[in-house]
């Protein structure tokens, strides 16, 4: 059993909450948490799947900004620069439209770096 699945099962038992009955915001946060743990343990494909699950439930733009940023980072780490650019750009557009100024500068830098990588190919 992988580390991120064990963490999820432990948290489900500790909190005693039926997963199916939780509000979608809570589920989104759990998927993001699982993705972060998978990223930290090097399970990038599993992390990406958790982020896709979070994306399908996310209603809050702030969650989507973070989800797309993380998807971009996974794609970048895997050398999929075109996909990384797509996700970073999605995140940047949402950040600008939602007035998340703290993330805009980080995302602008990531988009610029990826564009440089793609131009160098």
Number of domains within the chain: 2
pLDDT (0 to 100) of residue 21: 43
Q: Range of 26's domain?
A: 1-59
The residue that leads in pLDDT, 43 or 61, is 43
What is the CATH classification number for the domain harbouring 78? 1.20.58
Record the pTM. Answer: 0.79
Q: pLDDT tens digits for 66-112?
A: 999 999 999 999 999 999 999 999 999 999 888 777 889 899 999 99
Residues 38 and 72 grouped into a single domain = no
End-of-domain residue from the set 44, 59, 74 = 59
Q: How far is CA 64 from CA 32, 46, 53, 55, in A?
A: 10, 18, 12, 7
Using pLDDT thresholds of 50, 70 and 90, give the confidence band for residue 8.
low
SS (H, E, C) 37-83: HHHHCCCHHHHHHHHHHHHHHCCCHHHHHHHHHHHHHHHHHCCCHHH
């Amino acid at each position: 059993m992988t580390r991120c699945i064990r963490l999820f099962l432990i948290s489900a038992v500790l909190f005693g909450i039926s997963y199916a009955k939780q509000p979608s915001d809570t589920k989104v946060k759990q998927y993001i948490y699982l993705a972060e743990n998978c990223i930290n343990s090097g399970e990038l494909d599993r992390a990406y799947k958790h982020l896709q699950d979070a994306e399908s439930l996310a209603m809050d733009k702030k969650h989507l900004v973070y989800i797309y940023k993380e998807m971009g980072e996974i794609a970048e780490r895997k050398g999929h620069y075109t996909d990384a650019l797509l996700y970073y750009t999605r995140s940047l557009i949402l950040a600008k439209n939602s007035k998340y100024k703290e993330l805009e500068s980080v995302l602008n830098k990531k988009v610029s770096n990826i564009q440089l990588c793609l131009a160098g190919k």
